[in-house]
Amino acid sequence: MSALKTMASTLAILVLLCTNIYAQESSFEEVRLKNKIVPLTSNVYKLLEYHEVAGHTPILPLAKPYSKIFILKTLKSIADNDRVTERERELVNRYISDFSRESNGLQVASGSAKNTFGLIGMGTSAEVRSGVGDNSTATLILSAEPYLSGDIGNSLTFHASLGPSIEKLAPDLFYGSYTKDKQVHFPHEATGFSYLPYKFNFESMNIRTTVENKSPGYAEITEKIAVSFLYSTELNASLFDGALQFGINNQRRAWGNDFDNLTLSASARKFPAFEFKLAPLRWLRYSYLLGSLHSGKSLSGGYKSEIYGYDVGALQNNFTLHMLEVEPWEWFLLTATAGNVWVKRFEINYMIPFVFSHLSELESGDYDNLTMSIDLTFKVPNFGKIWFSFFNDEFSFIEKGNLLKMPRNRYAWQLGLVNRMPFIPHTLSSFKYSRVTPFAYTHYPETRMSNFNNRPYDMTYSNDGFNLGFYLPPNSGEFNWTLTSFAVNNLTLSMENRFIMHGTNDLASEELKLIYGDIYRHQYTNPGEDIHQYPLLDFTKDGIYDFTLSSEIRFDYRIRKSPYLDYYRLFGTIGAARTWWKENSSGVVAPTPRNFATVSIGIAIDI
């Protein structure tokens, strides 16, 4: 009798388990727009990292953003983990509920047929930001994005949005700054600043029209209110239960252990690209990207020649990026990445997947800007995640000596530790050090290829005025400690603390062999001179250095009591910074120290 009861109980459990699994899969099958990209601005990425370091999920893929269905399945596996607390499971289930909806935006119309679905809606946001302190001013952003989204069958999702953004942008202290004629120049000082040092960024297109005089232009910083546009596009497909994904998108991306990584970071301006991802095995992943880079401002003749003494070139490039991830053990991930910024032309050799760009260049000729990187990720049980990244722009083993201090060797590296705070519940701690050596990400203007107007090409590792890799300029270092808390329902709190060091020298100096920290100042030598004659690096002492200590608190609160929306977000920041300079023997006059604070508040309806 006892045996029969045991068998009956076991059978009942199996039936319930199978029913539950079927219900989960069925519910995900019914999810609309499942292959739509979840933007990097979503707090779900920090939540996933929180559970990753807790051991509730395997090491996550480094090529982000993820699709909605990938995030849903990952969240569901976390919710089913026995080690997850009820409070953590409650939060995860709330995100599952949010992402299971076809959209969180304002829905105007929707409909479905046998194998298709379509939706018209609206997303919108408003933000006011003000600086407090030296040369402070305000930033205003009001935007609306009507969108069209839909599914074709069960594997293809499309999305397109386009809308106006009414703006008056005020940057940070160092945006566009340069050092010349024994002075540090701040081009936007008259306009004023509203962001902490090195933190300015924006989402809209670079071209805008001022409301007052109706004149369009490529000046993103305007003293008067201007109108620009926001747009995003997606066409994504997923086959074989996600083992093969491909799409054509215009999005921000982050390919690395951290959003502010060395290869392709979230601070890089978005660009259109074709990409696909392969995951044939649990421990093997390959990601590929072929994108188009641009900079409208660089198209004018003699761009920045008044600063550098030469035309830095027109930025009209393609960008190829390969990433191979191998996870031989659950606690270790090895990642190899190869990138290439190359002049726009129909060079099939650079478009082929699986062939790292350095091999292609050996056949096509040295006309382009190649990079490679290695990432090591370790998960330590009951502790967290440790990761290391080495980015190689160019490295030479010809000379003997301390290779890591030779400016000829252009590289960057990061070391990071991510764990849950032991004494603060539901809080993620991320500490990292980043170092970018002089001349990393730089490249001489390419004059050997025609662009039909007798101008050189800008071959720097950048897009639309922002670095593709780490957000700081060359010859920089940063200590960064960020805390992210999910302790309060519907509220995400974060505090980012930074200590930044950056150095450069006078662009007008007659001595060529100096250490510079400017992406447009490549390592230059006269014909016949040896590039190895540059002095060895002496970080914080081989030029004029700026030092910034800053702290910023952010909040993001989801308000759910609305008759028309699942939620809308109230967000804001408050931060302070101090910047000072040390001139060393550079001959440049150190500016007076600057104290600065900023506060912002905004509201958003997500798409």
The pLDDT of residue 358: 72
The pLDDT of residue 355: 82
- Hey, which residues does 553 pair with through a beta bridge? 495, 574
The pLDDT of residue 365: 66
pLDDT in tens, 239-260: 999 999 999 999 999 999 999 9
Q: What's the CA gap between 474 and 461, in Å, rounded?
A: 11
* Residue showing tokens 């053990």: 329
- pLDDT-derived band of residue 437, with 50, 70 and 90 as boundaries? very high
Per-chain mean pLDDT for the chain: 91
pLDDT in tens, 193-244: 999 999 999 999 988 888 877 777 777 888 889 999 999 999 999 999 999 9
The pLDDT of residue 211: 82
Q: Which of 467, 62, 67, 471 is nearest to 258 (CA)?
A: 62
Does the structure show a pLDDT above 90 at 266? yes
Does the structure show a pLDDT above 50 at 21? no
The helix or strand, by DSSP H or E, that contains position 77, with its residue range, turns out to be helix 68-79
Q: What's the CA gap between 388 and 375, in Å, rounded?
A: 6
Does the structure show a pLDDT above 90 at 441? yes
The pLDDT of residue 451: 66
Hey, is 305 helix, strand or coil? helix
Q: What is the mean pLDDT of residues 170-187?
A: 96
pLDDT in tens, 79-105: 999 999 999 999 999 999 999 999 888
- pLDDT-derived band of residue 6, with 50, 70 and 90 as boundaries? very low
The pLDDT of residue 431: 98
Does the structure show a pLDDT above 60 at 1? no
Long-range contacts of residues 553-556, Cβ cutoff 8 Å, at least 24 apart: 553/493, 553/494, 553/495, 554/493, 554/494, 554/495, 554/496, 555/491, 555/492, 555/493, 555/494, 556/43, 556/491, 556/492
Indicate the residue type of 344: K
Q: Calculate ∠ Cα 478-44-121, nearest 5°.
A: 120
The pLDDT of residue 5: 44
Does the structure show a pLDDT above 70 at 14? no
Q: Which residues of 294-319 are buried (b: 16+ CB within 10 A; e: fewer)?
A: bbbbbeeeebbeebbeebbbbbbbbb
Does the structure show a pLDDT above 60 at 7? no
- pLDDT-derived band of residue 299, with 50, 70 and 90 as boundaries? confident
Does the structure show a pLDDT above 70 at 475? yes
The pLDDT of residue 332: 97
Evaluate the CA torsion angle 258, 262, 267, 272 in order and state its sign: negative
The pLDDT of residue 19: 37
Q: What is the mean pLDDT of residues 36-52?
A: 97
The helix or strand, by DSSP H or E, that contains position 369, with its residue range, turns out to be strand 369-380
* H helical segments located in 453-570: none
Contact 431, 497 (CB under 8 A): no
The pLDDT of residue 27: 59
Alpha-carbon 14 to chain mean position? 44
pLDDT in tens, 571-597: 999 999 999 999 999 999 999 999 999
The pLDDT of residue 17: 37
pLDDT in tens, 112-133: 998 999 999 999 999 999 999 8
pLDDT in tens, 376-411: 999 998 899 999 999 999 998 888 889 999 999 999
Hey, is 86 helix, strand or coil? helix
Two tokens at 480?
A: 């960064």
Pairing of the two strands 476-485 and 466-467: unpaired
